[in-house]
Amino acid sequence: MARYLTGITARKRFADALANVAILAIVAFAVFPILWAFLVSLKPEAEMVTADIQYLPQRITFENYEAIWTRSNFPTLITNSAVVSLTTVIICTVFGTLASYAVARCRFTGRQALMLFYLVIRMFPAVMIIIPLFILMRNVGLLDSRFGLALAYTTFLLPVFIWMMKGFFESVPGDLEDAARIDGASRLGAMVRVVLPLVLSGLVATAVFVAIGAWNEFLFALMLTTSMGSRTWPVGLHLMVGEFQLSWGALAAGGIMSIVPVIVLFAIVQRALVRGLTAGGLKP
């Protein structure tokens, strides 16, 4: 029996070690492009195009960061992305919270069909609706505006928000709301005072997911904006690619500067994000 248990322990340790190696390999595969872009952003132009690959810069310079910050209107692009992402999160949070709560708590005809419709929207590529959306935005005067771009992002991020928040609302026992309503609270009051504090972690996780989707979106921003006053950073980086010249250092510096806000956001809401991602899988 002791030899049998020893064998099981050895196999378990070997399986754990193999799983750790696989995890480390996946993490290294995902982190290497970011690390490579960071190293490239610190290199002078002469060290980027060489016969032999130079992984580490021989001379560290911040010229690329200075150039993209002062010569390419990058602060304006970052500001536009921040405003559009924040507007998208606000719209999705307000309307998505109410809609997902109604779907989770109310039993009405067509409820399943409505959720299926939200899911079907995500099945079609965004390029299929870009032309009708362009015509609609032009007719209502929202073309080439940050608010119009936020509304365009809402078309494909709001269904995701509703689907995710529906699971969080369903994990909260309905008896808590019934007790609040017996004490005199309205349906909306019970949701705000009782349910929302319990799903706050899930709400934060969903809002972060929406914010990242809006922050990194490229196609809608490229087609629906034409001036520097409304372009976002993915479009700005794309327009830096010239026909005969490509500034690798500036592009790498712009990419690193663009992911810094996302890293800071994750650092701030990390605990709430982890709790939210795990809370939706629990049943009351």
Tens-digit pLDDT string for the chain (284 aa): 556 556 667 777 878 889 999 999 999 998 998 898 898 888 887 777 776 777 788 888 888 888 888 777 888 888 999 999 999 999 999 999 998 988 888 877 777 888 888 777 777 777 888 888 889 888 998 888 999 999 999 988 998 899 888 888 888 888 888 788 887 878 888 888 888 888 888 888 889 889 989 998 998 998 898 888 888 988 888 887 764 466 788 888 888 888 888 888 877 777 766 665 555 444 44
Q: Domain check: are 105 and 245 in the same one?
A: yes
- Residue 224 belongs to a domain: yes
Asked if residue 257 and residue 215 are part of one domain, the reply reads yes
- Per-residue pLDDT reduced to its tens digit, 192-235: 888 888 888 888 888 988 998 999 899 899 889 888 888 898 88
Does any domain span residue 201?
A: yes
Other beta carbons less than 10 A from residue 114's beta carbon: 15
22/208 Cα distance (integer angstroms)? 28
Q: Which two tokens stand for residue 207?
A: 């809002």
Q: Does any domain span residue 199?
A: yes
C-alpha pair distances (Å), 31 with each of 7, 22, 54, 57, 212: 36, 14, 18, 18, 18
Residue 105: both structure tokens together: 């708590």
Residue 130 and residue 259 in one domain? yes
Query: Do the domain assignments include residue 170?
Result: yes
Residue 176: count of CB within 10 angstroms of its CB: 14
Closest CA to 211 of 248, 174, 266: 266
Q: Check: pTM over 0.85? Answer yes or no.
A: no
Q: Which of 101, 91, 215 is nearest to 147 (CA)?
A: 91
Residue 46 resides in a domain: no
| Amino acid 148: pLDDT | 92
User: 253 with 216, same domain?
Assistant: yes
- Domain for residue 243, yes or no? yes
Residue 274, CA distances (Å) to 109, 132, 158, 201 in order: 35, 38, 21, 8
**Dihedral of alpha carbons 84, 262, 100, 134, sign:** positive
Rounded distance, CA 187 to CA 131, Å?
40
Check whether residue 188 and residue 267 sit in a common domain. yes
Nearest to 220 by CA among 139, 154, 140, 122: 154
AA letter at 240: M
Q: State the CB neighbour count (10 A cutoff) for residue 14.
A: 10
Counted domains in the chain = 2
Question: Are 22 and 104 in the same domain?
Answer: no
284 within some domain = no
Residues 7 and 135 in one domain: no
Interior/surface letters 82-112, b for 16+ CB within 10 angstroms, e for the rest: bbbbebbbebbbeebbebbbbbbbeeeeeee
- Based on the domain organization, do 206 and 163 belong to the same domain? yes
| Whether residues 96 and 233 fall in one domain | yes
Enclosing domain of residue 105: 64-279
Sequence letter at residue 149: L
Indicate if 112 and 199 belong to the same structural domain.
Answer: yes
Backbone angles phi, psi at 54, to 5 degrees: -110, 110
- In a shared domain, residues 121 and 26: no
- What's the confidence (pLDDT) of residue 175? 81
Instruction: Write the CATH number for 103.
Output: 1.10.3720.10
- Looking at the structure, tell me whether residues 186 and 234 fall in a common domain: yes
**Average pLDDT along the chain:** 83
In a domain, 58, yes or no: no
